Amino acid sequence: MIRLGEATAATLPAVARFRYDRTAVRTGIVHLGTGAFHRAHQAMVYEQALAAGDLRWGVLGASLRSPTVRDQLMPQDGLYCVLVRDGEREQVQLVGAIQDVLVAPEDPAKLVAAMASPDTHIVTLTVTEKGYKLDPATGVLITDDPDLAVDLASLAAPRTAPGLIVAALQARRAAGLKPFTAMSCDNLPHNGTRLRNAVLALALRHDPDLCAWIEGEGAFPETMVDRIVPATEPSDIAALAAKIGVEDRAMVKTEPFTQWVVQDRFAGERPDLAAFGVQLTTAVAPWEEAKLRLLNGAHSGIAYLGGLAGIDFVHQFVALSAGRAFVDALWDEAAPTLSPPPELDIASYRAELMARFANSALHHRTRQIAMDGSQKLPQRLLGGIQSRLERGQPVGALALAVAAWMRWQEGRDDAGQSFAVDDPLAARTAAAAALPAEQAVRGLLAIDAIFPPALAANDSFAGQLTRLLDGLRQKGARAMIEGNAEWRMIDRE
């Protein structure tokens, strides 16, 4: 089948396509981590800027590890389709914002040079939680990470996102340019501050003057990003090909909803973000906390319980009345721990989230969300648990979600099927999870990169986790969700 590309794009039926002149677009953005989420989220905003005639905002994408995305996109001249799916409805939009994709390990100097170009004003990142090389519980740089160790020793060929940023800022300073704005778009609490801390700590090791310059002139806005973007599957590519007549191996599928809240703090030029639906604000944290603890917290609970129970997709989990009741119970516990922004009505936010989870056209795999739990648990579940326990409030559904994560570390589901636990700490968690429930819970709670010491030392919480883990092992996740006595009645308010 013919591949999507400049030559075929003009002829596509049923596809909304851009009208700006791609040859006149400049590269104002470098994006690190050009996966599906970037293509369905930030790139769509840059695309709107281009469509509105501001041609400064083309994107140079970069992959920090594998050539996969470059090999999907560049044979298509960087073009790809965004498929927005909602029940029976489907819309296809062709996106032209990505001009090129570099694979950092192939030529890190080329990427650093592009980041140091006077045209580059913003560097955005979606490198996942683990890409920041920060301890998930404390946010401190993990200096014994092998890639970071290379960047700590030399910035000649950076391997990490913080390394690339420091090297590029060093080059900009040497060239007499201003810093770019470095904007994390990952689901981390205080993502801007975390990125800034990682960059400053690394810069300090190399050059205290550079560090002071970044501290004074750099900008690392906090952001909250939200759009559900399930991994593209071969059947999605085949279905789109049947519809539009060309093959698009870089397509992404997503939901209608999209939200980007950005702290209004930039080092230099930026697109007119507010005109393209971005919420600019001084306080991102309240948005971020609500999104992490409600959307992502529920997602992780669904991922582990659903994954163990053999439920493949999020929409199937919330189609079960017990599944929906579990999500509601988790939200009942998490909601009072939030300080939501005045514009956010939690009741309608919850209703909207449940409807988004129920979108049966997305096929969002529980297995996809289960990935990297060690990096996700603190901000999604543990923060809310800690805040409740400190106030003497009980936890049930939140604890069940953590117990399900513990059971997941065994690498075997309730039907006895084994799977690889996809997580940078998998070796450590697997060793602990293989033990009898009480020791397993103690061993996992002792991993201080995940669990804050105060929570690990809470005996009553450990006892509750032990009972829940035992229940999950004996009865299975499905029975635990359905026969909700173990977690609903435990210490219920």
Write down the residue that tokens 């790139």 correspond to: 43
Cβ distance 292 to 300 under 8 Å? no
* 369: contact with ligand CS2 by CB under 6 A: yes
Segment lying near ligand CS2 (by CB under 6 A), choices 107-115, 154-162, 197-205, 368-376:
368-376
Toward ligand CS2, which CB reaches closer, 126 or 466?
Answer: 126
Per DSSP, the three-state class of 29 is strand
Q: How far is the CB of 299 from ligand CS2 (least distance, A)?
A: 4
**H-state helical runs in 218-342:** 234-244, 285-290, 297-308, 314-319, 321-334
Q: How far is the CB of 376 from ligand CS2 (least distance, A)?
A: 6
CB burial of 248-284 (b: ≥16 within 10 Å; e: otherwise) equals bbbbbbbbeebebbbbebbbbebbebeebebbbbeeb
Q: How far is the CB of 41 from ligand CS2 (least distance, A)?
A: 8
Toward ligand CS2, which CB reaches closer, 133 or 299?
Answer: 299
DSSP assignment of 363-387: --BHHHHHTTHHHHHIIIIIHHHHH
Q: What angle do CA 68, 57, 99 make, to 5 degrees?
A: 30
Q: How far is the CB of 40 from ligand CS2 (least distance, A)?
A: 10
Six-digit token string for 439? 């020791």
Q: Which 281-340 residues touch ligand CS2, going by CB under 6 A?
A: 295-296, 299
Residues that bind ligand CS2 (rule: CB under 6 A) add up to a total of 10
CA separation for the pair 227, 358 (Å, rounded): 14
Q: Give the count of alpha carbons within 13 A of 330, CB side only.
A: 33
Segment lying near ligand CS2 (by CB under 6 A), choices 21-29, 136-144, 224-232, 473-481:
224-232
Q: Taking CB positions, which residue lies at the least distance from ligand CS2?
A: 299
Q: How far is the CB of 173 from ligand CS2 (least distance, A)?
A: 34
Q: Of how many residues is the chain composed?
A: 493
Toward ligand CS2, which CB reaches closer, 151 or 186?
Answer: 186
Toward ligand CS2, which CB reaches closer, 77 or 423?
Answer: 423
Q: How far is the CB of 296 from ligand CS2 (least distance, A)?
A: 5
Six-digit token string for 404? 């399900």
Toward ligand CS2, which CB reaches closer, 211 or 314?
Answer: 314
Dihedral (Cα; 150, 152, 158, 159), 10-degree rounding: 50
Q: How far is the CB of 280 from ligand CS2 (least distance, A)?
A: 19
- Other Cβ atoms closer than 10 A to 344: 13
Segment lying near ligand CS2 (by CB under 6 A), choices 178-186, 221-229, 412-420, 469-477:
221-229
Six-digit token string for 43? 């790139």
Toward ligand CS2, which CB reaches closer, 184 or 187?
Answer: 187
Among 47, 145, 186, 226, binds ligand CS2 (CB under 6 A): 226
Cβ distance 51 to 271 under 8 Å? no
Q: Give the phi and the psi of residue 67 in degrees, each rounded to 5.
A: -80, 0
* 130: contact with ligand CS2 by CB under 6 A: no
Toward ligand CS2, which CB reaches closer, 372 or 470?
Answer: 372
* 228: contact with ligand CS2 by CB under 6 A: yes
Q: Which residues contact 462 (CB under 8 A, 6 or more apart)?
A: 441, 442, 445, 456
Q: Which 152-211 residues touch ligand CS2, going by CB under 6 A?
A: 187
H or E segment to which residue 70 belongs: helix 68-73
Among 159, 190, 196, 227, binds ligand CS2 (CB under 6 A): 227
Q: Give the phi and the psi of residue 125 in degrees, each rounded to 5.
A: -135, 135
CA separation for the pair 399, 396 (Å, rounded): 5
Closest CA to 213 of 170, 249, 252, 247: 170
Q: How far is the CB of 228 from ligand CS2 (least distance, A)?
A: 4
Toward ligand CS2, which CB reaches closer, 102 or 295?
Answer: 295
Toward ligand CS2, which CB reaches closer, 7 or 344?
Answer: 344
Cβ distance 257 to 362 under 8 Å? no
Q: How far is the CB of 178 from ligand CS2 (least distance, A)?
A: 31
Segment lying near ligand CS2 (by CB under 6 A), choices 149-157, 176-184, 212-220, 226-234:
226-234
Q: How far is the CB of 157 from ligand CS2 (least distance, A)?
A: 30
Among 368, 449, 467, 475, binds ligand CS2 (CB under 6 A): 368
Q: Which residues is 365 bridged to in the sheet? A: 313
Q: Which residues contact 217 (CB under 8 A, 6 or more apart)?
A: 178, 179, 267
Toward ligand CS2, which CB reaches closer, 409 or 464?
Answer: 409
Q: Which 371-390 residues touch ligand CS2, going by CB under 6 A?
A: 376
Toward ligand CS2, which CB reaches closer, 73 or 303?
Answer: 303
DSSP assignment of 158-184: --SHHHHHHHHHHHHHHTTPPPPEEEE
Toward ligand CS2, which CB reaches closer, 27 or 68?
Answer: 68
Q: How far is the CB of 387 from ligand CS2 (least distance, A)?
A: 20
Toward ligand CS2, which CB reaches closer, 76 or 296?
Answer: 296
Binding site for ligand CS2 (CB under 6 A): 187, 226-228, 295-296, 299, 368-369, 376
